[in-house]
Amino acid sequence: MNSIIDERFKMPNAFWHGLKAIGLSPTSVLRQAGLPITLHIRDNSQVTTAQLFRLWQAIETLSEDPTVGIRFATSLQTALLPPSSLVAFYARDYRDGLARTARFKRMCAPERVDMRCEGDECSITVEWLHSRCAEPAALADVAFTSFVELGRQGTGERIVPKRIELMRSNMDDSAYQHYFGCSVRFGSSRNTLVLDSADLDRPFRTHNAELLEMLVPALASALQEQEACSSVSDEVKVVLKRSMASGRPDLAYVARELGTSERTLQRRITGEGNNFRRLTLEARQDMVRSLLLDSAIEINEVAYLVGFEDANSFYRAFRSWEGVTPAQWRFSRSSH
């Protein structure tokens, strides 16, 4: 069963340096995103996935550049990357580098990189484990540009993807054509980078076995410790939150998502002194509170997003949980 990391995570210093490299000040981006303007100078500051998305929406707005993600990713200095990202550049080949990226990326943020190879194509997608919606366009561009940059810097050759599939509407794709050198399909069902499988076997000129021997054990140990802090109950609630708006996911659905059997999942949930019904309720409550903290979301929309059939049943349920109405709860939090 795949483990996940906590919903809150620390923004790497490379992010703030990247903002300056593209001509944006961290303070202006934080202000536009509605986040504390000192967040970038606090050593222990953490953000949620929703706050990260707001940061990238702010970057899109302030830059007025629809391809700012490409510019951001290509401006990053490799030396400033955290060890969990840097280790990929020391891999044996492009395939190994992408695999190390997928493995250790979870240490920085609650995202999962999925690589699926079939025939002469290898498709890469990114899933944000705590979000019910797609990531901002610029953030998707950062991910795909970073994956291609890894291949180009590692091999010393101009890696050209077979194509890129993007969820956003049609736009001027000249910047994509210039950087990626491949066709772009807009209006796709999900954001996908498609590589030529043959390119994955290209050796890395940056391969460094000694540095891998130093970094990988420490990273693997840290990742194992991090995953050990995640209980099966936490993992179940993450799946429930992701799928709640589209229906009422049952135990069978969650088991499939976590790659295990219903019986095994039920046994592990019970072993933690929990039950599926309680986890479903807790996931719904957590999601409701998170959504209500975002004043841009209407209260009736919150009811829909967490699977209630109508607003009245949502209001009754919420009052039974908190003793106040959703509007009163939201006001009390916004006034703090």
Q: What mean pLDDT is reported for the chain? A: 88
Q: Which helix (H) or strand (E) holds 183?
A: strand 183-185
Q: Which of 264, 258, 263 is nearest to 234 (CA)?
A: 258
Q: Which of 136, 114, 13 is nearest to 69 (CA)?
A: 136
CA angle, residues 88, 90, 96, in degrees to nearest 5: 55
Burial of 205 (0-12, 13-18, 19+ CB in 10 A): exposed
Half-sphere exposure of 133 (CA within 13 A, CB side): 12
Q: What is the CA radius of gyration of the chain?
A: 21
Tens-digit pLDDT profile for residues 154-189: 999 999 999 999 999 988 889 999 999 999 999 999
Domains, the chain, with CATH or none: 13-225 (3.90.1520), 232-334 (1.10.10.60)
d(CA 263, CA 268): 9
Which structure tokens are listed for 330?
């939201």
Which structure tokens are listed for 23?
């001509």
DSSP state of 247: S
Q: Which of 294, 254, 249 is nearest to 35 (CA)?
A: 294
Token pair 């840097």 is found at: 86
Q: Which amino acid is at 219?
A: L
For residue 94, pLDDT beyond 90 = yes
**pLDDT at site 335:** 59
More confident of the two residues 202 and 255:
202
Residue 238 and residue 3 in contact, taking contact as beta carbons nearer than 8 Å = no
**pLDDT at site 319:** 93
For the chain, how far is it from start to end, CA to CA, in angstroms? 40
For residue 97, pLDDT beyond 90 = yes
Q: Which helix (H) or strand (E) holds 207?
A: none
Which residues have a Cβ under 8 Å from the Cβ of 246 and sit 6 or more positions away?
none
d(CA 100, CA 86): 10
**pLDDT at site 245:** 65
CA angle, residues 264, 268, 269, in degrees to nearest 5: 115
In the chain, the percentage of residues whose pLDDT exceeds 90 is 54
Other CB atoms within a 10 A radius of the CB of residue 66 amount to 17
Across the range 227-235, mean pLDDT stands at 72
Which structure tokens are listed for 319?
């009052």
- Compute the residue count for the chain: 336
**pLDDT at site 1:** 40
Which residues have a Cβ under 8 Å from the Cβ of 131 and sit 6 or more positions away?
49, 50, 53, 242
**pLDDT at site 144:** 98
Across the range 258-268, mean pLDDT stands at 84
d(CA 264, CA 169): 42
**pLDDT at site 4:** 40
Tens-digit pLDDT profile for residues 281-317: 998 898 898 888 877 788 888 888 888 888 899 999 9
For residue 146, pLDDT beyond 60 = yes
**pLDDT at site 31:** 95
CA angle, residues 192, 193, 198, in degrees to nearest 5: 140
Q: Which of 124, 128, 193, 136 is nearest to 168 (CA)?
A: 136
